[in-house]
Structure 1
Amino acid sequence: MISHAKEICLLSIVMPAKNEAAAVGSTIAAIRRQYPEAEVIVVNDGSCDETAILAEAAGARVVHHPYSKGNGAAIKTGARAASGEIILFMDADGQHDPADIPRLLELIGQGHDMVVGARQKGSQASMGRGFANGLYNRLASWMTGHRVDDLTSGFRAVRTDKFREFLYLLPNGFSYPTTSTMAFFRAGYSVAYVPIHAAKRIGKSHIRLLRDGSRFLLIIFKIGTLFSPLKIFAPVALVMFALASSWYGWTWWEQGRFTNMSALLYSGSVMVFLMGLISEQITALMYRGRE
């Protein structure tokens, strides 16, 4: 376990912020009381309020985006600017309690490469978002073969050198936690979870349920293709093969012939399976190239 003093020397805290003037100052102040020597970086993602001014006044280093590029883009900017060997990502809206930081760092000190603050029941979240997060967690657990307690939490500590390996994979939107978690699992890095309680955010949320919810299926497929494409393509191919066989059996019984629909479904199932196999090899080569 690394000492508290060494944790401070190696620690960079990165907070993406867009119009978070209501909470950013008090959040930074709470961090400063606990880790006065830590590097605190606020990435001002095109805010049109006093977020940057209040962050600087509270003692943070502010990196500016001239316009809003997205939460994931802010995370990448902060990761590139950080000088610490450990980066802790947290929100600037008051949801994450700085008092939980030592618990994440303790597991980093025990040898883990990424430690995620897993939101427990009672943490603020709409029923729809809670249901979606539950589906994400189950899907990721199936994909990785490991229990995933919170795939989408933005409160996480990582080893800087390992996180930077995957910056090119991270999207500019809100799904960077999903992508980074799956990338760490795929690379064989150690991921751990610490139970936390996320408070109600201060200010207005930038997530829109209808707009961002429409990306649900795309994120699911992205998770699959990022970690193990064959686990997505093989079941689809199997279903198509079963449909083809069922249709063939029915038409042979009723009409005594093999129809074009059966041929289409059989050929489609083979094509989907081969696409999954090729995607699996491409994914393996992609991670091998990063090594």
Structure 2
Amino acid sequence: MSAVLDNLVSAQSFPELSVVIPARNEAAGLQQLLPKLKAAFPGAEIIVSDDGSTDSTAAVAVAEGVRVVSRPYGAGNGAAIKAGARMASRDLIVFMDGDGQHQTEDIARLLAKFSEGYDMVVGARNPGGQANRHRGLANAFYNRLASWMVGHRVADLTSGFRVTRRKKFLEFLHLLPNGFSYPTTSTMAFFRAGYAVAYEAIDVKPRLAGTTSHIRLWRDGTRFLLIIFKIGTLYSPLKLFAPISLAFFSLGLGYYAYTFFTQHRFTNMSVLLFSAAVIIFLIGLISEQITALMYGGSGANGRDDS
């Protein structure tokens, strides 16, 4: 690993690498980040995707000589990511934030891990890198739930610092929301499509003075949760439908036992609960078959399109 990392660091030129930075009012962060990126990776294509900033974000990027794609109004972090990914022309894409939290030197570590044969490598923040205790607890819950949904350990579901192949990322571009759930969607999509995903531990620095997070815990937390269930339903429907079906069946069985011993009869409520259990299970089974057919002949079935 160290030898590969040393080679990556010393190469200083990555003609196959695009760096996409979604930015909204991140002029201060970009003034520090872009010179470092250009010095560390002079051969890389650097793209700043300006999501309707009202400060000098676009002007800073233009002054640094990097590519800029701008929106006339803010549509969300996911929309900026999609615009940057479409503009990227290199084989590999690194996604990172422009607020000063992600470090340029960690890119080489992600690339070194990626070179081991993974399809996506995500920078997993240490516990101290969470914005606050509540955000850390919420992310831990999301990680556990997503791990159960996809059947693999998800170390950091919401980290936006990652490297992947452009072709494979574009396969799921239509699934990405325009808001702040792009890391959630892309991570779960890669896992459920059978692609190899790895995590590399990283340290993140506090946001630069004058920059604030655009994520709101309760509002966007609910959206993250819905995205997890949405992607889980899309890629592994029985993971959701089977437990719900079992819950209804258990309720029906319990209610039947209660009415049998107290009233000596089989009630309509028990019939309704048993029927709901069967219907929900059958819906999940049909959804599972549709999912298998949908990905049976696509590039997301594990075939390497690189």
Q: TM-score range by the shorter chain?
A: over 0.9
1:230 equivalent among 220, 224, 238:
238
Letter paired with 2:264: G
Segments of 5+ residues of structure 2 without an aligned counterpart are 300-306
Q: Partners in 1 of 2:231 and 2:139 — Cα distance?
A: 13
What SS is found at the alignment partner of 1:122? helix
Equivalent position of 2:70 in the other structure: 64
Q: Distance in 2 between matches of 1:214 and 1:159?
A: 29
**Is residue 2:199 matched to residue 1:193?**
yes
TM-superposed deviation, 1:280: 1.4
Q: Calculate the TM-score normalised by the size of structure 1.
A: 0.95
- Cα separation, 1, equivalents of 2:294 and 2:34: 38
- Which residue is 1:209 aligned to? 217
Distance in 1 separating the partners of 2:47 and 2:284: 41
Query: Which residue does the alignment assign to 1:276?
Result: 284
Task: Summarize the Cα distance change of 1:211–1:140 in structure 2 as closer, same or farther, 3 Å threshold.
Answer: closer
State the Cα distance separating 1:216 from its structure 2 match.
4.4
SS in 2 for 1:48: coil
Change (3 A) 1:71 1:289: farther
3-state SS of paired residue (1:115) = strand
- Residue 187 to residue 36, structure 1, CA distance change in 2 (3 Å): same
What is the match of residue 272 of structure 2?
264
Please name the residue that 2:187 is paired with: 181
Report runs of 4+ in structure 1 exceeding 4 Å deviation.
none
Corresponding residue for residue 288 of structure 1: 296
Question: Hey, what does 2:20 align to over in structure 1?
Answer: 14
Range 240-249 or range 17-26, more displaced:
17-26
Give the equivalent residue in structure 2 for 1:140: 146
**RMSD over equivalenced CA pairs, Å:** 1.7
Verify the 8 A CA contact 1:116 1:192 in the aligned structure 2.
yes
Query: What is the CA–CA distance in structure 1 between the aligned matches of 2:283 and 2:207, rounded to whole Å?
Result: 43
Select between 63-72 and 218-227 the one with higher mean Cα deviation. Answer: 218-227
| TM-score of the superposed pair, with normalisation by structure 2 | 0.90
Match of 2:37 in 1: 31
- The 3 A distance-change label for structure 1 pair 65 and 97 is same
Letter in 2 for 1:249: A
State the Cα deviation string for residues 47-93 of structure 1 (Å, max 9, x = none). Answer: 11100001111232110112111111111111110011000000011
What secondary structure does 1:94 align onto?
Answer: coil
Work out which of the residue numbers 128, 132, 145 in structure 2 matches 1:122: 128
Q: Is 2:255 the partner of 1:247? A: yes
Unaligned runs of 5+ in 1: none
Q: The residue matched to 1:22 in structure 2 has which SS? A: helix
Provide the rounded CA distance (Å) in 1 between the counterparts of 2:184 and 2:133.
20
* Residue 145 of structure 1: how far off its partner (Å): 2.5
